[in-house]
């Protein structure tokens, strides 16, 4: 796929990730010759910003992909499963942000800084990993490449924007009510009050007691790193933060790993910024990574439980690098 400009479709263009995809395409100068912004019938006719231009939203149908070269999907797994094949049949390459195709053996699961070669092995569809997996592997994979990761224990601190615009609205509403002296709020999106609280993410618990969200770290990590023996014990938690996920990771490695050597490896890794100033207690926070392309890693220290172990803390904007930017970077691989 190599030409001067491309017909790009963004499916789910009015959602948080869809809007971010439009921003990333414009900001990174992707060679868009024609842009189709697709969404539900109720959003058709709306106007969205695309750089210094405006684009009108069109209704998503099975016939929306005529002439489309690349289709960026962020409309949920059911719509991806329904309309993704229509896009491929029309000749487009689909880059899908949902979970619909991630564990399909015929579909590459790609983080461009980790396994860019996999993007060229697609059969019409390329999957974007889970946002927490992306943020974690941005720090873990460079260490794996150098030291060989065996297993990790991880805890994620996931922002409410991971639940979409409604998660942000619920947190804001609850904070406003409590600040006005209300003593009780009525959760809607979340099972418990999210304001001034943290909530284990337990939407779907599997037979082993872990949730589907928690198992993604191991299952997707194995596929992306091509590492069938990788093990991950993960606890996912929703926190009262608007944007950007954080993950605390303790890993065990095959080779001897030191903090200084690990820092050198991480500092040389693309898409990653080391923020690890012990003297001034300067370490990454979600606010530091919000609206940034790079993930930030710090709190580097030898793990006290694992042999050849290292613990670290990594943050990343899950709407951007954890979703929209990663998809656009995959598109850049296809046209490079």
Contact at 8 Å (CB) between 50 and 26? yes
Give the residue among 196, 204, 203 at the shortest CA–CA distance from 239: 196
- Residue (of 207, 260, 208) closest to 233 by Cα position: 208
DSSP structure string for 233-264: EEEEEE-S-SS-EEEEEEEEESS---HHHHHH
The answer to whether 245 is a known catalytic residue is yes
Interatomic CA distance for residues 3 and 24, integer angstroms: 20
C-alpha–C-alpha distance, residues 83 and 329, integer Å: 22
Q: What distances in angstroms separate CA 180 from CA 169, 177, 185, 194, one per listed residue?
A: 17, 5, 12, 17
- Are 5 and 32 spatial neighbours (Cβ–Cβ below 8 Å)? yes
Which is the catalytic residue, given 131, 144, 236, 295?
131
Inter-residue contact 308 to 78 (CB < 8 Å): no
The whole-angstrom separation of Cα 133 and Cα 131 is: 5
Q: Indicate which residue of 7, 122, 144, 245 is catalytic.
A: 245
Residues with catalytic function: 131, 245
């Amino acid at each position: 796929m190599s030409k001067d400009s491309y017909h790009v479709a963004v499916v789910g263009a009015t959602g948080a990730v869809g809007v971010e995809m439009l921003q990333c395409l414009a900001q990174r100068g992707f060679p868009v010759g024609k842009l189709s912004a697709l969404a539900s019938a109720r959003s058709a006719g709306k106007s969205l910003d695309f750089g210094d231009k405006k684009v009108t939203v069109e209704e998503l149908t099975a016939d929306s992909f005529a002439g489309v070269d690349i289709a960026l999907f962020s409309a949920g797994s059911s719509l991806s499963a329904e309309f993704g094949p229509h896009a491929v049949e029309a000749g487009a390459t689909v880059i899908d942000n949902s979970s619909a195709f991630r564990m399909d053996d015929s579909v590459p699961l790609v983080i461009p800084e980790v396994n860019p070669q996999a993007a060229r092995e697609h059969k019409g569809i390329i999957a974007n990993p889970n946002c927490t997996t992306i943020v974690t592997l941005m720090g873990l994979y460079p260490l794996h490449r150098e030291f060989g990761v065996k297993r990790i224990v991880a805890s994620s601190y996931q922002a409410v924007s991971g639940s979409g615009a409604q998660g942000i609205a619920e947190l804001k509403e609850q904070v406003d009510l409590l600040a006005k002296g209300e003593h009780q709020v009525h959760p809607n999106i979340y099972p418990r009050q999210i304001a001034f609280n943290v909530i284990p993410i337990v939407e779907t618990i599997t037979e082993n007691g872990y949730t589907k969200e928690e198992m993604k770290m191991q299952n997707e990590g194995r596929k992306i790193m091509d590492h069938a023996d990788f093990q991950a014990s993960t606890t996912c938690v929703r926190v009262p933060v608007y944007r950007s996920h954080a993950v605390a990771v303790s890993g065990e490695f095959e080779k001897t790993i030191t903090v200084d050597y690990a820092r050198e490896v991480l500092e040389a890794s693309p898409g990653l910024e080391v923020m690890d100033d012990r003297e001034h207690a300067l370490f990454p926070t979600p606010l530091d990574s919000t609206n940034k392309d790079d993930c930030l890693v710090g709190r580097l220290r030898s793990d006290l439980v694992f042999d050849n172990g290292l613990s670290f803390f990594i943050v990343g904007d899950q709407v951007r690098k954890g979703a929209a930017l990663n998809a656009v970077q995959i598109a850049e691989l296809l046209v490079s």
